[in-house]
Chain A
């Protein structure tokens, strides 16, 4: 066991936050290797504190470790200092439970949460001495699989990953592991295994698809080989109540990003904001029952000792039983000294009632996301929030004692003008004014309103998937204009690096020809691209140059509706016709009602679950 290697202790003494690397946390699972025939490494391509906050990992860790003969361990990207130490000592990257090198694992499962973590995937494989290219890994050992939101366009990773999971992982991972075990016992070769795996619904094996390109660089055809399905449909769990949910989490020693018990109250989103990939790829909207959530929260708190529960989802205030749920939770949380937090409140239904019920939680600050500065642009993106609602909400919050508010916006949205940029500042200023208009505002305390503007990145499976992203130059001009418009010291303005949004845009809608670029960027030393202190635009641009790939082709080009997109053979339920309809409505600044008000026939009803199949007679 490498972990017992005395060198490892020396290394831990030399790095920042050694608890990231020691393992041994409460509820971490240690199994006897003799009883295990499939070893699975859940790899999160970011630091421990980020990865450990991720609910999906906790769910899969629980599911896989419940399987007999399967041992799932955790691996995170070591920070720069730790990587240096490991490389200097010629030690491999290891999994936290056993301390064994990744090379010892049958399956390495990466989660794809954001495009900017791709370089870390390569680096993690490299740190374990595992060949990066899928074609160079022979045999079943070290099978590299990946899932998560970015798997909806996994093409840039096609050279490196053996197979992808589309959609929700609760069942599909188990099915794959069972097939893997069978093939391992029967000594089946890797190619044959992949061919069989491709028959599991939701499994996408990129090497079984032949992609051809036209002269203008766009795709001419995608042909399945060896009996692989022409369309791969994502997996969906229809019944959230009977679905597996871990009753214990690994409890870190370190303070991580979300250090609390998390209960998922719903999946999917009814809203259909046109820029938001999550709003489409997780459809349909499905809710857990109050009883289930209550039971799960209780056992989680009992098994972890956490004194805070977060009710998580894309939009928790859309949970229709929110008030009954809070009432139910409050019957025991106060005695147990447990607080409740709601991470994603919406502007339009933030009520005093809910606020009173969650007041046990420390008042750190409130965040709202109007996303665009003018009503016209909010209509374009289908963010159905009015200025009036926002003002009402912030006034409620100010009356409730809050005095710090964060507002999130995007710049570079389709049809945006400078007037929309000015609108961002105006809206921020109105929030400041609303604070001073409140006669019972706390004496002697000022208000702080911060406006944060990120660069818009068009994503697959959204109505904006055909849109050109603003160039770095355009984004920078808009950022400058934004800052120039601010005239109050109460208003703080932040924006994201335009070059980072650009790179994200390239990979979000990229295709297989980005594989060599990624490999070259890795050779140039790119890693932790999502971290300001690590990101190097120069290295990335060098990689594009060396590979003779034009990043603007992916980020800044307008696609026509009839172009074959790199992700067209992946099926997330949402139809292209619907997305085209939505895109055209966007240009007209026409809004689309949410799934609760009216079904817009997006295609997700094919999964026959959740809100799509609910009795809607009351709506007619």
Chain B
């Protein structure tokens, strides 16, 4: 028995499936691909598939991963990759199978790309761009975060690392690094929605998660 880490993208229609549905979809693909899974003992055999850090609904994922326990005597990593590519829908392409180097608990940051488009016409883009920049440049960005013990006001500013911000035609691109993982996780939509309610701007935002990092800012492996 060994654990393998399977790397995939979550694109197109697959962005809109909930975590539960993703789980089911993967389980079916694994079943169809006849992957020699390691099942837990007991009456109700339950396959081991765990996701490092589930994505929120609507977010595109460029480098997602899930772990599963397999019987490595029965299949090579290459074969596993090929078979899963055949049994998963086109919007969930698998691109690599590796040995897990780190535990999902090591995840510390996530890099997101935000694509914002104004929904009000006429010079609205420059306007939106200015609003967005001054929002980000504030001393403090208080936001209401949901937590287990009810709503919690947090300052987003210290956790926020803007990597890139530019405008291309009607679209504003922002690359932002946010704390991620099981200990403290910030969802980019919290930032964007706080901006929306503070500025009153009307726009549409598309989210992509590009990569997960550990504390040392090395890509999570």
Residues of A within 8 A of B (CB): 6, 9-10, 12-13, 18-19, 22-26, 251, 253-255, 301-307, 337
- Give the docked Cα–Cα distance between A520 and B27 (Å): 47
Q: Are B58 and A6 interface neighbours, CB within 8 A?
A: no
Q: Kindly list the 6 A-B residue pairs having the minimum CB-CB distance in the complex, ordered from nearest.
A: A24-B13, A305-B32, A305-B28, A22-B13, A18-B16, A253-B17
Which residue of B is nearest A302, CB measured?
Answer: B32
5 contacting pairs across A/B (C-beta < 8 A):
A6-B204, A9-B204, A9-B206, A26-B88, A253-B22
| Residue numbers in A under 8 Å from B31 (CB-CB) | 305-307, 337
Which residue of A is nearest B28, CB measured?
Answer: A305
A-contact 0/1 string along B88-102, CB 8 Å cutoff? 111100000000000
Q: Are B45 and A337 interface neighbours, CB within 8 A?
A: yes
- Give the docked Cα–Cα distance between A9 and B13 (Å): 10
Q: Which applies to chain A's interface (DSSP): helix, strand, loop or mixed?
A: mixed
Which residue of B is nearest A250, CB measured?
Answer: B89
Q: Are A24 and B91 interface neighbours, CB within 8 A?
A: yes
- Give the docked Cα–Cα distance between A9 and B58 (Å): 9
| Residue numbers in B under 8 Å from A24 (CB-CB) | 12-14, 89-91
Which of B27, B30, B58 is the one whose CB lies under 8 Å from A12?
A: B58
Extra inter-chain contacts (6) besides given A24-B91, A26-B28, A305-B29, CB under 8 Å: A19-B18, A24-B89, A25-B89, A251-B28, A305-B27, A337-B31
| Residue numbers in B under 8 Å from A302 (CB-CB) | 32
| Residue numbers in B under 8 Å from A10 (CB-CB) | 204
Shortest B92–chain A CB gap in Å is 9
Which residue of A is nearest B58, CB measured?
Answer: A13
Which of A12, A304, A337 is the one whose CB lies under 8 Å from B16?
A: A12
| Residue numbers in A under 8 Å from B57 (CB-CB) | 18
Shortest B2–chain A CB gap in Å is 21
| Residue numbers in A under 8 Å from B27 (CB-CB) | 305
User: Within 8 Å of chain A (Cβ to Cβ): is B194?
Assistant: no
Which of B32, B33, B45 is the one whose CB lies under 8 Å from A304?
A: B32
Most chain B beta-carbon neighbours within 10 Å: one of A6, A13, A253, A254: A253
User: Within 8 Å of chain A (Cβ to Cβ): is B117?
Assistant: yes
- Give the docked Cα–Cα distance between A10 and B69 (Å): 38
Shortest B61–chain A CB gap in Å is 15
User: Within 8 Å of chain A (Cβ to Cβ): is B85?
Assistant: no
Most chain A beta-carbon neighbours within 10 Å: one of B13, B20, B22, B33: B13
Which residue of A is nearest B45, CB measured?
Answer: A337
- Give the docked Cα–Cα distance between A303 and B32 (Å): 7
User: Within 8 Å of chain A (Cβ to Cβ): is B24?
Assistant: yes
Contacts known (A25-B89, A305-B29, A306-B28); A253 close to B204, Cβ less than 8 A: no
| Residue numbers in A under 8 Å from B32 (CB-CB) | 301-305
| Residue numbers in B under 8 Å from A303 (CB-CB) | 32
| Residue numbers in B under 8 Å from A305 (CB-CB) | 27-33, 87
Contacts known (A24-B90, A337-B31); A6 close to B117, Cβ less than 8 A: yes
| Residue numbers in A under 8 Å from B16 (CB-CB) | 12, 18-19, 22, 253
Q: Are A25 and B13 interface neighbours, CB within 8 A?
A: yes
| Residue numbers in A under 8 Å from B24 (CB-CB) | 255
- Give the docked Cα–Cα distance between A299 and B55 (Å): 33
| Residue numbers in B under 8 Å from A26 (CB-CB) | 25, 28-29, 87-89
